[in-house]
């Protein structure tokens, strides 16, 4: 069954402050966060010199120091570069056009999205040694994947078509079963191992909606009590929700899937005219998360480089860096490093705040 996309744009995400029983506004650390550009030639991080004739794109973190990237020579190659040792090597090669790479949080599997046709996607699940263990073909012009962080054998796939209708699939690698689920939100996410959560909007998307939980084992559906949720994210047993702003403040709630509140706080609300702007979080594990938040409320165009990077650990938030943009992050498995920007060319060392370009292109 195809459904029409009702959202006009993807909502983003961020976070801060303290764990308490009532909402609080952001509480910045006493120590000044570090923000600097590395210029010292005696660097502990190695730089990668790429050939622009062959380089395709930066993929994902394979380990805490190895970054996956794709090159095209005669065929497409998935390679890695170790920023701590300078070592590089090849993991996988394919004759088909490689569109995306995702590494599972366990660092045991890699998802490769390839395509030779504009209306068909091929998804392959590999071991980190490059052995294909699952492969599926899905009709689509665009595709998004939410990989279950608890069970790497389960994929939640949204396949968009040329007319922007979409189908949502679940792939179960335990049984090699690919099947369609009936969900109206095109961007659902896993909640634990057997539930899928999505937002059910009743009015305008700016006003939010309630969460719908679908049990994929028995097709049972439950709904959250809150009806003003504009964004959510999950990781294992954790559920993060953001409510529609009141007095120019978002309310964030971190809870377990059984409803136990872990922490709650408020952050400045940012919009981009027709949508709320909430930069995506980066989960390290259920109790550790990195995220961005604006320093003040307002329009995204007026805020610019006024986002801060925060770290949430066991319900407590702390400031990591100030003066950043809303561009996405890709953080290493332990959060030691993060790649910043839409092309992931900038490397951030979290503990020192040092920022540098890790990849350069030969002239």
Query: In the chain, where are the structural domains located?
Result: 3-361
The answer, yes or no, to whether residue 206 has pLDDT greater than 70, is yes
Tell me what the mean pLDDT of segment 316-337 comes to.
94
Tell me what the mean pLDDT of segment 136-164 comes to.
97
- Give the span between the Cα atoms of 236 and 352, in whole angstroms: 29
The answer, yes or no, to whether residue 151 has pLDDT greater than 70, is yes
- Give the span between the Cα atoms of 361 and 57, in whole angstroms: 12
- Give the span between the Cα atoms of 257 and 262, in whole angstroms: 11
Place of tokens 């954790």: 238
pLDDT digits (tens, 9 = 90+) for 225-265: 888 999 999 999 999 999 999 999 999 999 999 999 999 99
Overall fold of domain 3-361? Methylamine Dehydrogenase; Chain H (2.130.10)
- Please name which of 310, 285, 283 lies closest in space to residue 295, comparing C-alpha atoms: 310
Q: How confident is the model at residue 273 (pLDDT cuts 50, 70, 90)?
A: confident
Using an 8 Å Cβ cutoff, are 243 and 251 in contact? yes
Tell me what the mean pLDDT of segment 30-36 comes to.
35
Residue 284 neighbours by CB under 8 Å, 6+ apart: 290, 331, 333, 334, 335
The answer, yes or no, to whether residue 121 has pLDDT greater than 70, is yes
The percentage of the chain sitting over the pLDDT mark of 90, rounded to a whole number, equals 83
Predicted confidence at residue 3, as pLDDT, reads 53
* Helix or strand holding residue 134 (H, E): strand 132-139
pLDDT digits (tens, 9 = 90+) for 52-84: 999 999 999 999 999 999 999 899 999 999 999
Which tokens sit at 302?
């007026």
Predicted confidence at residue 43, as pLDDT, reads 59
Its pTM stands at 0.87
- Give the span between the Cα atoms of 289 and 286, in whole angstroms: 8
Residue 218 neighbours by CB under 8 Å, 6+ apart: none
Residue 86 neighbours by CB under 8 Å, 6+ apart: 46
The answer, yes or no, to whether residue 37 has pLDDT greater than 70, is no
Lowest pLDDT segment from 100-104, 236-240, 273-277: 273-277
Cα→Cα distances 257→112, 241, 251, 361, Å: 30, 11, 18, 45
- Give the span between the Cα atoms of 202 and 289, in whole angstroms: 30
SS3 call for 71: strand
Which tokens sit at 225?
């009590």
Using an 8 Å Cβ cutoff, are 115 and 122 in contact? yes
Q: Residue 174: exposed, middle, or buried by beta-carbon count in 10 A (0-12, 13-18, 19+)?
A: exposed
- Please name which of 144, 95, 94 lies closest in space to residue 121, comparing C-alpha atoms: 144
Q: How confident is the model at residue 203 (pLDDT cuts 50, 70, 90)?
A: confident
C-alpha angle with apex 111: 337 to 120, nearest 5 degrees?
A: 135
Which tokens sit at 75?
């065929």
Tell me what the mean pLDDT of segment 216-224 comes to.
93
- Residue 23 neighbours by CB distance under 10 Å: 18
Place of tokens 């009532």: 22
Predicted confidence at residue 358, as pLDDT, reads 97
Q: Residue 311: exposed, middle, or buried by beta-carbon count in 10 A (0-12, 13-18, 19+)?
A: buried
């Amino acid at each position: 069954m195809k459904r029409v996309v009702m959202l006009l744009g993807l909502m983003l995400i961020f976070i801060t402050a303290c764990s308490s029983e009532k909402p609080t506004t952001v509480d910045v650390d006493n120590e000044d966060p570090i923000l600097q550009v590395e210029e010292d030639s005696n660097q502990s991080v190695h730089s990668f010199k790429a050939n622009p004739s062959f380089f395709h794109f930066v993929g994902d973190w394979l380990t805490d120091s190895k970054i996956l990237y794709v090159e095209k020579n005669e065929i497409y190659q998935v390679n890695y570069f170790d920023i701590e040792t300078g070592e590089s090597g090849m993991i996988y090669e394919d004759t088909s056009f490689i569109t995306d790479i995702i590494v599972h949080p366990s660092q045991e599997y890699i998802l490769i999205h390839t395509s030779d046709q504009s209306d068909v996607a091929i998804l392959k699940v590999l071991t980190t040694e490059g052995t294909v263990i699952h492969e599926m073909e899905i009709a689509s012009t665009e595709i998004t994947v939410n990989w279950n962080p608890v069970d790497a054998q389960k994929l939640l796939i949204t396949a968009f078509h040329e007319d922007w209708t979409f189908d949502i699939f679940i792939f179960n690698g335990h049984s090699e079963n690919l099947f369609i689920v009936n969900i109206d939100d095109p961007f659902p996410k896993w909640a634990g191992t057997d539930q899928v959560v999505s937002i059910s909007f009743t009015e305008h998307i700016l006003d939010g909606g309630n969460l719908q939980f679908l049990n994929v084992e028995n097709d049972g559906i439950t709904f959250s009590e809150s009806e003003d949720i504009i964004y959510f994210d999950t990781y294992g047993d954790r559920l993060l929700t953001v409510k529609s702003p009141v007095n120019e403040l978002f309310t964030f709630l971190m809870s377990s899937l059984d409803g136990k509140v872990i922490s709650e706080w408020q952050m400045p609300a940012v919009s981009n005219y027709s949508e709320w702007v909430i930069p995506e979080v980066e989960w390290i594990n259920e109790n550790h998360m990195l995220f961005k938040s604006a320093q003040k409320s307002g329009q995204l165009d007026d805020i610019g480089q006024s986002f801060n990077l925060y770290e949430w650990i066991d319900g407590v938030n702390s400031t990591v860096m100030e003066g950043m943009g809303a561009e996405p992050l890709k953080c290493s498995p332990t959060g030691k490093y993060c790649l910043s920007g839409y092309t992931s060319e900038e490397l951030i060392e979290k503990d020192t705040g040092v920022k540098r370009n890790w990849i350069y292109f030969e002239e």
